Structure 1
Amino acid sequence: YTMKNKLSRLLPALIILMLITVACSPQTIEVTRVVENTIVETVEVEVEGETQTVEVTRVVTEEVVVEPTSAPVNQGGNVVESSFADSSTLNPIISSDQASTDVIVKMFLGLVNLEPFTGRVIGEIAESWETSDDGLVYTFHLRDDITWSDGTQLTANDIAFTYDAINTDSVTSPRRSDFQLVDSWEAIDDFTLELRLKSIDCSIISNLTTGILPAHVYENDPENIAESAENTAPTVASGPFTFVEWIPDDHITLAANPSYFLGKPNVDTWTRKVYADESAELAGFLAGETHTISRGVGPQFVSVIEGQIATGAPMGMRKFFDNGNVFVGLNLADPENPQNGWDDLDEDGKWTEGEPPLEQDPHPVLGDLAVRQAIAYSVDYNGIINQVAFGEGTPTIANVWPSIEWAYNNDIPPYAQDLETAQSILEEAGWVDTDGDGVREKDGQRLTFSLMTNAGNETRENIGVLIKDVLDNIGFEIELEYIEFGTVVQNLLGQTYDAVIIGFGGGAPEPDDSSQFSFKNDEVGAGFNFVSYHNEQVESNLAEGKGIAGCVESERAPFYMDNQSLMHDDIPYIWLYTELENGVWSSNLQEYDPNTWDLWHNIQDWHLSP
Structure 2
Amino acid sequence: MIRLRPTFRRLVAMTAAAGMLALAACSAPAIPDGSAGGTTMVVATSDEPDALNPVLNYGVDGASLIFDGLVARDRDNRLVPGLAADLPTVSPDGRTVTARLRDGVLFHDGTALSAQDVVFTYQAVLDPKVDSTLRSDLDMVESVATTDQATVVFRLRYPYAPFLQRLTLGIVPAKLLAGQDINTAGFNRKPVGTGPYKVESWTPGDRLVLAANERHFGGRPANNRVVVAFVADDNVRAQRMRAGEFDAAELPPKLAAGFDPDAAYKVQRVPTADYRGVMLPMGNPVLADPAVRRALNLAVDRSAMVSGILGGAGDPAFGPVPPTSEFAEPSIVGTPTADVVAASALLDAAGWTPGPGGVRVKDGRPARFALMYPATDTLRKELALAVTADAKKVGIEVTPAGLTWDAIDPRMKSDALLMGYGTPYDPDFISYKLFGSRFAGQGYFNSGSYRSAVVDRALQEGRDQADPARRKAAYAQVQKELAADVPWLFLTYLRHSYVLKSSVQGVTPRVEPHEHGVANSLWWNINTWTRS
TM-score range, shorter chain: 0.7 to 0.9
The within-5 A match list for 1:311-330 is 313-322=263-272, 324-330=273-279
Indicate conservation of the 8 Å contact 1:326/1:501, yes or no.
no
Distance 1:134 1:273 in 2: 47
Q: Look up the equivalent residue of 1:81 and give its one-letter code.
A: V
Larger deviation, residues 467-476 vs 496-505: 496-505
Q: CA RMSD in A?
A: 3.4
- Match for residue 83 of structure 2? 125
- Match for residue 500 of structure 1? 417
Distance 1:101 1:88 in 2: 14
Among 66, 79, 93, the residue aligned to 1:107: 66
Distance 2:410 2:499 in 1: 32
Deviations 1:333-372 (A, max 9, x none): 6xxxxxxxxxxxxxxxxxxxxxxxxxxxx24554443332
Indicate conservation of the 8 Å contact 2:65/2:196, yes or no.
yes
- Match for residue 433 of structure 2? 515
Q: CA deviation at 1:563?
A: 1.0
Q: 1:413 to 1:80 in 2, by over 3 A?
A: closer
Q: 1:235 to 1:556 in 2, by over 3 A?
A: closer
Q: 1:239 to 1:386 in 2, by over 3 A?
A: same
- Match for residue 91 of structure 1? 53
Among 509, 513, 525, the residue aligned to 1:594: 509
Q: 1:478 to 1:424 in 2, by over 3 A?
A: farther
Indicate conservation of the 8 Å contact 1:365/1:449, yes or no.
no
- Match for residue 292 of structure 1? 248
Structure number with the bigger relative contact order (C-alpha 8 A, sep ≥ 6) is 2
Instruction: Note the residue ranges of structure 1 that are not aligned, 5 or more in a row.
Output: 1-72, 334-361
- Match for residue 205 of structure 2? 249
Q: 1:500 to 1:259 in 2, by over 3 A?
A: farther
Distance 1:497 1:127 in 2: 50
Indicate conservation of the 8 Å contact 2:371/2:416, yes or no.
yes
Deviations 1:308-334 (A, max 9, x none): 1xxxx2333444421x1422241526x
Indicate conservation of the 8 Å contact 2:284/2:414, yes or no.
no
- Match for residue 575 of structure 1? 490
Distance 2:210 2:361 in 1: 53
Among 272, 280, 285, the residue aligned to 2:236: 280
TM-score after normalising by structure 2: 0.80
Does structure 1 residue 542 correspond to structure 2 residue 459?
yes
Distance 2:223 2:111 in 1: 24
Distance 1:517 1:547 in 2: 17
- Report the identity percentage: 25
Larger deviation, residues 201-210 vs 410-419: 410-419
Distance 2:438 2:136 in 1: 8
Distance 1:531 1:112 in 2: 35
Indicate conservation of the 8 Å contact 1:329/1:502, yes or no.
yes
- Match for residue 585 of structure 1? 500
- Match for residue 352 of structure 1? none
- Match for residue 182 of structure 1? 141
Q: Look up the equivalent residue of 1:533 and give its one-letter code.
A: Y
- Match for residue 17 of structure 2? none
- Match for residue 476 of structure 1? 397
Q: CA deviation at 1:290?
A: 0.7
Deviations 1:157-196 (A, max 9, x none): 2222222222222334332232233322212222111112
- Match for residue 527 of structure 2? 604
Q: CA deviation at 1:476?
A: 1.6
- Match for residue 408 of structure 1? 328
Among 300, 305, 310, the residue aligned to 1:379: 300
Q: CA deviation at 1:608?
A: 4.0
Indicate conservation of the 8 Å contact 1:441/1:447, yes or no.
no
- Match for residue 69 of structure 1? none
Distance 2:60 2:37 in 1: 27
Distance 2:202 2:285 in 1: 41
Distance 1:182 1:497 in 2: 35
Q: Look up the equivalent residue of 1:300 and give its one-letter code.
A: K
Among 74, 91, 102, the residue aligned to 1:143: 102
Q: CA deviation at 1:440?
A: 5.8
Does structure 1 residue 450 correspond to structure 2 residue 371?
yes
Instruction: Note the residue ranges of structure 2 that are not aligned, 5 or more in a row.
Output: 1-34, 513-520
Indicate conservation of the 8 Å contact 1:506/1:596, yes or no.
no
Q: Look up the equivalent residue of 2:304 and give its one-letter code.
A: G
Indicate conservation of the 8 Å contact 2:280/2:489, yes or no.
no
Q: Look up the equivalent residue of 2:221 and give its one-letter code.
A: P
- Match for residue 128 of structure 2? 169
Distance 2:469 2:333 in 1: 22
Q: Look up the equivalent residue of 1:82 and give its one-letter code.
A: A
Q: 1:492 to 1:605 in 2, by over 3 A?
A: farther
Larger deviation, residues 467-476 vs 202-211: 467-476
Q: 1:412 to 1:167 in 2, by over 3 A?
A: same
The within-5 A match list for 1:344-359 is none
- Match for residue 82 of structure 1? 44
Q: CA deviation at 1:298?
A: 2.6
Distance 1:229 1:374 in 2: 52
Q: 1:382 to 1:436 in 2, by over 3 A?
A: closer
Does structure 1 residue 230 correspond to structure 2 residue 161?
no
Q: Look up the equivalent residue of 2:187 and give its one-letter code.
A: E
Q: 1:266 to 1:411 in 2, by over 3 A?
A: closer
Q: Look up the equivalent residue of 1:280 and give its one-letter code.
A: V
Indicate conservation of the 8 Å contact 2:241/2:248, yes or no.
yes
Indicate conservation of the 8 Å contact 2:505/2:529, yes or no.
yes
Distance 1:491 1:259 in 2: 46
- Match for residue 265 of structure 1? 221
- Match for residue 339 of structure 1? none
How many residues are paired up?
A: 486
Distance 2:325 2:482 in 1: 17
